[in-house]
Amino acid sequence: MRQITAQMVEQMDQNDELASFKKEFYTKDDSIYLDGNSLGLLSKRAEQSLLDVLNDWKEHGIDGWMGGKYPWFTLSEKLAEKLSLLVGAKEKEVIVTGSTTVNLHQMVATFFEPQEGRTKILADELTFPSDIYGLQSQLKLKGLNPDTDLIQVGSKNGLTLDEQDIIDKMTEDVALILLPSVLYRSGQLLDIERLTREAHKRNIPIGFDLCHSIGAIPHELSNWGVDFAFWCNYKYVNAGPGGVGGLYVNTKHFTKTPGLSGWFGSKKETQFDMDHHFDAENSAGGYQIGTPHMLSTAPLIGSLSIFEEAKIDRIRTKSLKLTSLLMDLLNQEIENEFTIVNPLDDTRRGGHVALMHNDAARICKALKQNGIVPDFRAPNIIRLAPVALYNSFQDVFEAVKILSKIMKNREYEKFENKREVIA
């Protein structure tokens, strides 16, 4: 492999079609932020749209629901039109609502319909813990035993999954499948299309947690026939800490009664009739539960306008170039120090690079002291996520130079190899 030079990296930035978007975000001159897969940075547009919604509250009071710059009553649906482009869905198949785990509960309560001989939920042992907590709760609510009715597909190496192992577990007693699109530690991108096809061959509904893929990777949920999906919007979509999430329901399921019914899932024209008969919207909007959180939704207005302009396919192309450069520089500058555990194949890699090292926790502390913001995942993984909208190729080049210095001088040894409360 040829030597990567500063001049080559400079040329990559000069050829970057998305370079102009960096100025849209609040970045720091003395820091390189590589933690967008955990919390995305604030954009100036997201800040302004939040201020706009605050102003509508100030100026209009309750009339903000139907008046003002962004009428609140239909804002979730308006934003869903833009969000649908990121997941490859029809507009009515998406709604902005809830949080990851609340939306998981809504989807599982709706799609998990155990019958005699078919009572199990299929998941995996590497997924984010909150998904497992939610599945355990749903099984208990149905009078089932999570110890026997929750199947978690194992990993051969503790880092990645083999799709064939998942397919082999799609047995006749499985009533529902829930998997991540991208594994949060290793960054492995699962083959959603293949897994959906195999699940449907066996008449098993299947859904995906898109938290670590939305905003970084294009999806084709409608074309693939995925039954449902849910996600947060505060990672790659940059909607702010605790920002309102989203969910997708395939059109063929619009006639299903939501497992968790709430008044904001009612048809808009009759919602304020206050009838005790629930008349759900014939769309993903019918799966809303409570009144939208306007101040947590507002940043999405600005954020999604950036995605409209940048285009998710271009974002994915740059993301892959950034992570490829990062891995190439690691191999060039810090050979044999780390094990790269994310897939090397572009078609199987999400938006971050995952490095395994026994001193991962204190290396992350040393990086932060040197102006690099990484992410640690127990027990020994450093996640580095150069984000296409606000990271440059020069950012990656500088970050690896600093990491190389830390490792050569063993600067990390002055820190305790233990995570902080927030990793």
For 135-162, write each residue's pLDDT tens digit: 999 999 999 999 999 999 999 999 999 9
Widest CA span in the chain: 70
Q: Are residues 285 and 394 in the same domain?
A: no
33 Cβ neighbours under 8 A, 6+ residues apart? 27, 41, 373, 387, 390, 391
Q: How many structural domains is the chain composed of?
A: 2
Residue 75 maps to a domain: yes
Q: Report the CATH number that the domain containing residue 189 is assigned in CATH.
A: 3.40.640.10
Q: Extract the annotated binding site.
A: 100-101, 128-131, 209, 212, 234, 263, 291
Which amino acid makes up residue 406?
Answer: I
Q: Which of 263, 291, 309 marks a domain boundary?
A: 309
Residue 421 maps to a domain: no
Q: What percent of the chain has pLDDT over 90?
A: 95
Residue 358, number of CB atoms within 10 A of its CB: 10
Q: Which of 309, 332, 363 marks a domain boundary?
A: 309
Residue 264 maps to a domain: yes
Q: Which helix (H) or strand (E) holds 122?
A: strand 120-124
Tens-place pLDDT, residues 55-113: 999 999 999 999 999 999 999 999 999 999 999 999 999 999 999 999 999 999 999 99
Does residue 241 contact residue 111 with C-beta atoms inside 8 Å?
Answer: no
The β-bridge relationship of strands 94-96 and 246-249 is antiparallel
Residue 180 three-state SS: strand
Q: Are residues 156 and 303 in the same domain?
A: yes
Residue 332 maps to a domain: yes
Q: Are residues 11 and 56 in the same domain?
A: no
Q: Are residues 301 and 320 in the same domain?
A: no
Q: Are residues 197 and 134 in the same domain?
A: yes
Tens-place pLDDT, residues 182-229: 999 999 999 999 999 999 999 999 999 999 999 999 999 999 999 999
Q: Are residues 244 and 335 in the same domain?
A: no
Give residue 1's pLDDT.
62
Give residue 354's pLDDT.
98
User: What pLDDT band is residue 420 in, cutting at 50, 70 and 90?
Assistant: confident
* Tokens standing for residue 340: 């790269």
Distance CA 354, CA 337 (A): 13
Does residue 45 contact residue 302 with C-beta atoms inside 8 Å?
Answer: yes
Q: What is the mean pLDDT of residues 307-328?
A: 98
Q: Are residues 297 and 323 in the same domain?
A: no
Model confidence at 423: pLDDT above 80: no
Q: Are residues 104 and 232 in the same domain?
A: yes
63 Cβ neighbours under 8 A, 6+ residues apart? none
Torsion of CA 9, 11, 12, 14, to 10 degrees: 130
Residue 257, number of CB atoms within 10 A of its CB: 10
Tens-place pLDDT, residues 250-299: 999 999 999 999 989 999 898 888 889 999 999 999 999 999 999 999 99
Q: Extract the annotated binding site for pyridoxal 5'-phosphate.
A: 100-101, 128-131, 209, 212, 234, 263, 291
Per the structure, the complete domain to which residue 348 belongs is given by 6-30+311-414
Residue 43 maps to a domain: no
The beta-carbon contacts of 65-70 under 8 Å, at least 24 apart in sequence, are 70/298, 70/301
Q: Which of 267, 287, 309 marks a domain boundary?
A: 309
Q: Are residues 178 and 275 in the same domain?
A: yes
- Residue 40 has what DSSP assignment? P
CA 27 to chain centre: 21
Q: Report the CATH number that the domain containing residue 410 is assigned in CATH.
A: 3.90.1150.10
Q: Are residues 358 and 275 in the same domain?
A: no
Q: Are residues 133 and 220 in the same domain?
A: yes
